[in-house]
Structure 1
Amino acid sequence: MAPVPKVRLAGGLEICRVLNGMWQVSGSHGPVDEVRAVEAMQAYVDAGLTTFDMADIYVPAEEIFGQFNSQLKSKSSGSPTPALQGLTKWVPRPGPMDRKVVEKALQRSMAHMQVDSLDCVQFHWWDYGDKRYLEALGHLSDLQQEGLIRELALTNFDTQRLEEITSRGIRISSNQVQYSLIDQRPAARMEEFCLANNIHLLTYGTLAGGLLSERYLGKVEPKSRAELNTSSLSKYKKMIDSWGGWSLFQDLLVTLETVAKRRGCSVANVATRCILDRPAVGGVIVGCRLGVAGAGQHISDSLRSCSPELRLTEEDLAAVEAVTRRSRDLMALIGDCGDEYRK
């Protein structure tokens, strides 16, 4: 298998173009065995998938990363160890945003992750009406200059706020947003701005919590809580409902399966590659199965998605677009990226 492709962010940090998402260990996807989760990280690293995405609110994601990071170093006995990239998010509650508050939050994440500085802090803010997000970002930028943070990034900020923040001289490396064949809002405005300002998009929801897979092809629409039994499935099923409904979604799955058979890959590979090849997209975040059965197949599928051997043709993309263009306009329905969190 070819090496996992990397992308270099504005501050020089190299990350994998397929990132291991750790939302799944936050408890909203079922119980988590932390010991098994730590052990399971090794298989991802051995496969070259060394970039992990987490958040201070994904308890205990930062602690799991920290335990693995510590064990990896202790096992090395002086020999070289694979470099890990730990991207975390700071998701503060509304309140004062003086330097002490900001620094305390970063120190807490550093302690959990067992690191001396943070590779990347992705800042989220709930309410644009509360302008203290600019104060917080000012302090984060200062702390970056002092070496506490390597990359300063955002999560779920819209294009208007991206413009506002960068116009103040704050260098933003990336913005983490929802981007999939279902939700293509980043293509409307954000991609163009990001390309012009050396900002990468790190995308989540690209597989719609697993709905964009063969597993749901030809299936009756899931509606009950028992069928939509994780936060991801519930969240992205609602997005499908807004986008165009289950019947149109089935048309998309049929088309993706046709392309997948032509390319000798899975539906998830095609859905991922469609987004990975978009302008400004630096990487796609795929939820990792830490301590869950089937992780080996999951890793193989992630590697196949970013393989240079997988190439989608203009014919493939046109077939997919013929379905997606029949959907509703989510920019008109929801607003720009992240607006769903602020209504």
Structure 2
Amino acid sequence: MMSPVPKVTLSGGLEICRVMNGMWQVSGAHGAVDKARAVEVMQSYVDAGLTTFDMADIYGPAEEIFGQFNSQLKSKSSGSTVTALQSLTKYVPRPGPMERKVVEKALRHSMARMQVETMDCVQFHWWDYRDKRYLDALGHLHDLQQEGLIREVALTNFDTQRLEEITNKGIRISSNQVQYSLIDQRPAARMQQFCLTNNIQLLTYGTLAGSLLSERYLGKAEPNSRADLYTASLSKYKNMIDAWGGWSLFQDLLVALETVAKRHDCSMASVATRYVLDRPAVGGVIIGCRFGVAGAGQHISDSLLSCSPGLRLTAEDLAAIEAVTRRSRDLMVLMGDCGDEYRS
């Protein structure tokens, strides 16, 4: 029997799994999606105790797929035994006027697609900091939270400066979703301390670098062609590796990970995930699930092992990993704070 999936409670009271099921992979950028199959596969994650799903209004049919699964789960269960799902979505508006009616209309559209009566968590993203209307949108989200439409108001890919600005306006932010991995450790530079002080959880993605941080790439030639980098994740994270230090240094990191994984009789992915779960201020890690995508494997056992109490990285493990990561370039200097790569 695996241990139960550990949970974390956000500042508004929502309890979520520390390993979440990411739905970016159904957006269409990772291959065609069979919606019926996607709904079917989601059940195996829930059966394993992985009940928290992360999606966005811009991830193609992600909200609809969740809605179909949610509705199916309710119709199958007998009243009192409904499995509680936690649904985190993102509100990613195009910059423009952010009146309350605009914000509320977008949220109600997401609610209809997800087949929910209230929103567990709305993670807000804004493309251009020079356009200060993000503060208007967040003000309306705060009001809608007070009115009971939303449980948690959160952010996606905001930097520390803006996180501080928003918090100082009296808007309580539960979490910020940022990239965090053995490759990209920018959250540790500034954001982590602000989050610890203000009870904000970091929810992290890119932790497995789109599957590059796995046995599959150990000892392999550098992937460069479209055929090698066949998903949006692979090309995105290969670019991160290039910025961080290149393929040769990355191979050294995989060798170190393999050593640690063998010591614990687990996969390299479990070690890479555990490393991030153990970082200060990290509430949970989002692992991409290719629900309904042809040829996609399921990595439920890796996810469960990465958060089990039996996997503890020792000082020796950390020293082996950090002997490699300290030879990398400083991504804060190269790219700026978390999320800056999404803004010009």
TM-score (norm 2): 0.98
Distance 2:293 2:96 in 1: 38
1:321 and 2:326 aligned: no
Distance 2:254 2:198 in 1: 35
Helix, strand or coil: the match of 1:226? coil
1:86 aligns with: 87
2:306 aligns with: 305
Instruction: Spell out, residue by residue over 1:91-144, the C-alpha distance to the aligned partner (whole angstroms, 9 max, x if none).
Output: 000100000000001000000000011000000000000000000000000000
1:174–1:202 CA contact under 8 A, matched in 2: yes
Within a 5 Å distance, the mapping from 1:230-269 to structure 2 comes to 230-269=231-270
Within a 5 Å distance, the mapping from 1:201-220 to structure 2 comes to 201-220=202-221
> Partner amino acid for 1:204?
Y
> Partner amino acid for 1:11?
G
Distance 1:252 1:292 in 2: 29
> Partner amino acid for 2:275?
C
2:172 aligns with: 171
Within a 5 Å distance, the mapping from 1:270-281 to structure 2 comes to 270-281=271-282
Distance 1:142 1:331 in 2: 34
1:148 aligns with: 149
Helix, strand or coil: the match of 1:223? coil
Distance 2:200 2:267 in 1: 30
2:11–2:200 CA contact under 8 A, matched in 1: yes
Query: How far did 1:293 drift?
Result: 6.7
Distance 1:55 1:290 in 2: 15
Distance 1:42 1:63 in 2: 15
Unaligned 5+ runs, structure 2: none
TM-score (norm 1): 0.99
2:33–2:294 CA contact under 8 A, matched in 1: no
1:289–1:298 CA contact under 8 A, matched in 2: no
Query: How far did 1:322 drift?
Result: 0.7
Instruction: Spell out, residue by residue over 1:259-318, the C-alpha distance to the aligned partner (whole angstroms, 9 max, x if none).
Output: 000011111011110000000000000011313578775111110110110000011011
Distance 2:202 2:298 in 1: 26
How many residues of Structure 1 are paired with residues of Structure 2 in the alignment?
A: 343
1:68 and 2:69 aligned: yes
Helix, strand or coil: the match of 1:105? helix
Distance 1:284 1:41 in 2: 18
Answer with 166-175 or 69-78: which moved more.
69-78
> Partner amino acid for 1:280?
A
1:23 and 2:24 aligned: yes
1:209–1:232 CA contact under 8 A, matched in 2: yes
Query: How far did 1:77 drift?
Result: 3.0
Distance 1:262 1:156 in 2: 35
Residues 292 and 299 of structure 1, relative CA distance in 2, 3 Å threshold: farther
> Partner amino acid for 1:286?
I
> Partner amino acid for 1:278?
R
> Partner amino acid for 1:106?
L
Cα RMSD for the two superposed structures: 1.0
Query: How far did 1:29 drift?
Result: 0.1
Distance 1:292 1:334 in 2: 32
Distance 2:72 2:216 in 1: 36
1:289 and 2:290 aligned: yes
Distance 1:297 1:55 in 2: 21
Distance 2:58 2:303 in 1: 25
Distance 1:165 1:206 in 2: 26
2:100–2:137 CA contact under 8 A, matched in 1: yes
